[in-house]
Structures are given as structure tokens and as C-alpha cells.
């Protein structure tokens, strides 16, 4: 099992479920910062067409290419279905942002053979590991 930092280092494409257009929300600033450090961010939000200069998709199933990591900015109760959806598209890993914890989501991820991180922030782990995808 890889550590959170290893999962992040090995991921090039991150689908962000619950990505926000509101620059005051972490669901906007965190993906934007990850993008600035070289990760491709695919926003998943049914209410917008584009975020961060990338096309936004209403659901994970609508993304037409593989993703390496599904990052979740949704309440814990919603995370269960997001993890099911991530398993359905064959995502190798799922990450629940800081403050999001779900025993059922963890169980679903483990049963699907997906790596699982919860209650951790992408940008904190990126900074702690001094990670970048920039050349």
C-alpha cells in the first residue's frame, strides 16, 4: 500500500468531485494550486462547463479518459456514492479531503481494490513531500 504522498506523486490526472467556482472555497483553491504544480485537474461539477481552464464533467462516468486519482470535496454522506462511482470507472485511488471521513466509503474502496486516503489535504501532502509534476 502506497503512502498518501506516494499516491499523489504517482498521479498525473486528478478528477476533483465537488470542484467549486467560488475562489473563497478550498474546493477551488486546492485544485487550482495542484494545477499550478503540474497536475492535470479534471473538475467534476454538474453546474459548470469549465473550471481551471479545463472542461468540467457532470459525473465521473462522463470523463472520457482514465484518471489516476479521484479527489472528493463532498460531505462524508456523499463520499460513499463517489467512491462507488470511482470504482466503476476503474480509478486506482480515491482521496477524501480534510475533514471528510467515511468508514463505508473506505470499505467500498478496499473491496474494489482501490487505495484510499481520507481526512487529508492534497496541498498539505504536496508541500510536505515537496512534490511537483513540473519539469
Question: Does residue 134 lie in a domain region?
Answer: no
Question: Does residue 83 lie in a domain region?
Answer: yes
Question: Does residue 101 lie in a domain region?
Answer: yes
pLDDT of residue 85: 98
Question: Does residue 24 lie in a domain region?
Answer: yes
Residues contacting 130, CB < 8 A, separation 6+:
none
Could you state, in chain order, the average pLDDT of each consecutive group of 10 residues for the chain (135 residues)?
Answer: 94 98 97 98 97 98 98 97 98 98 98 98 97 93
Question: Does residue 135 lie in a domain region?
Answer: no
Determine how many CB atoms are found less than 10 A away from the CB of residue 83: 28
Determine how many CB atoms are found less than 10 A away from the CB of residue 67: 23
Distance, CA of 135 to CA of 132 (rounded, Å) = 8
Radius of gyration of the chain (CA): 13
Range of the domain at 16: 4-129
Report which of 130, 129, 92, 131 is spatially closest to residue 109, judged by C-alpha positions. 92
- CATH number of the domain at 103, please: 3.40.50.720
Question: Does residue 36 lie in a domain region?
Answer: yes
| Total number of domains in the chain | 1
pLDDT of residue 135: 80
Amino acid at each position: 500500500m502506497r503512502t498518501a504522498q506516494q499516491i499523489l506523486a504517482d498521479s498525473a490526472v486528478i478528477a476533483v468531485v465537488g470542484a467549486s467556482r467560488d475562489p473563497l472555497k478550498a474546493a477551488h483553491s486546492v485544485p487550482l494550486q495542484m494545477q499550478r504544480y503540474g497536475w492535470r485537474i479534471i473538475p467534476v461539477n454538474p453546474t459548470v462547463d469549465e473550471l481551471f481552464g479545463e472542461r468540467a464533467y457532470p459525473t465521473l462516468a462522463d470523463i472520457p479518459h482514465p484518471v489516476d486519482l479521484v479527489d472528493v470535496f463532498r460531505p462524508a454522506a456523499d463520499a460513499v456514492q463517489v467512491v462507488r462511482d470511482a470504482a466503476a470507472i476503474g480509478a486506482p485511488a480515491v482521496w477524501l479531503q480534510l475533514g471528510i471521513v467515511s468508514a463505508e466509503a473506505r470499505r467500498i474502496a478496499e473491496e474494489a481494490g482501490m487505495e484510499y486516503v481520507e481526512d487529508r489535504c492534497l496541498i498539505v501532502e504536496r508541500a510536505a513531500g515537496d512534490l511537483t509534476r513540473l519539469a
